[in-house]
Structure 1
Amino acid sequence: MDARVFPSMQTDPDGYGGEETLDPQDWDAVAELSHRVVDDAVRHLRDLRERPVWRPMPGDVEALFRAPVPDQPMPIEQVYGLVHASVLAYPMGNIHPRFWSWFMGAGNFSGALGDFIAAVQGSNLGGGSHAAARLDQQVVGWLRDMVGLPSSASGTLVSGGSVANLIGLTVARNTAAGIDLREHG
């Protein structure tokens, strides 16, 4: 696969009326790379118990994270190769069954597939009448009912503890302000 598969912008004379697009020129190559990524992810989780919980990065890998911004595009297959060799290979270890340091979320394949689908759909849950927003409301409703909160209780699903803490602090600030911060902020 060459650098033309995912250029930063391309003009597509074959079907998009000359408009600029971020679409790849070769969807079959994208599908092939996607299958490789999923296969690697399955192996990463399946073989987890055979690896150490954590291992230090060698100096040459660590140096990659201090490199200057590239001045030329790189084919996505090469980008994935770097991610596979330099990021996936040196995890924090929190998804390993022998990681007993502190509590934090652990990766799992079902969650990864859900994140993938959400990223492909790209819905904004800030409002609107669409399926992703309704799904968020439905799951929050189920959780509300499971713990016995009143039907007037609300919430939203977030990506993790840091975002949840930020939302909690925002709600506390807004409540303590005594005014409608959105209107009079």
Structure 2
Amino acid sequence: MKLKELLVQELPKRGGWPEGAEIICSHGNGHVYAYATKCRTSGRQLPIYGGSGQAVTREQYESALAAAQPQWDRNYPIKAGTDVEVHFEGDDSRVWTEFRVEYMRGDVVVLHDYRSDDVNAYSNKKLNFRPIRSEADKKRDEIERAIANALFNDGDFDSAEALRLATFIYGAMSRNEIPHVHIE
């Protein structure tokens, strides 16, 4: 087993990535050490064995850990342990909050709220779900909200219509249909 796979399997059980470590390496004998620098001096041995002769940075570990998490395929019921974004029906804001589904069956869903570390049961008929969005998606939403606010800064507007227009404008900008405007 590769060291990265081993770390994804074992580190969450042991409190996650070691504090202060920049890189984790396994030596030829299979012993695994966490190092504060990539220079690999003064390492701290971890209670993990395997993946000999390999090295993993924190960024590589976090990327592999995220890829190993269950992803929602928009089918119901949502599997336990899956992170989703939830919008509560009746909430007029466009706020979506990240939760982990602990249980879903019939009309009942149990969600873990990361903000307060609470677990509560809800009727899933009063909730809207969507997969976790990428950082690029979140940035796009932030830009669209800023455009909507700039267009209608007096606050006297239909928010759905303003966001529809902002989404249209952002799309035109990202397709380079508006001269002299570039979106990275």
TM-score, length of structure 2 as denominator length:
0.30
Higher helix share: 1
Higher strand share: 2
TM-score, length of structure 1 as denominator length:
0.30
Higher RCO (CA < 8 A, seq sep 6+): 1
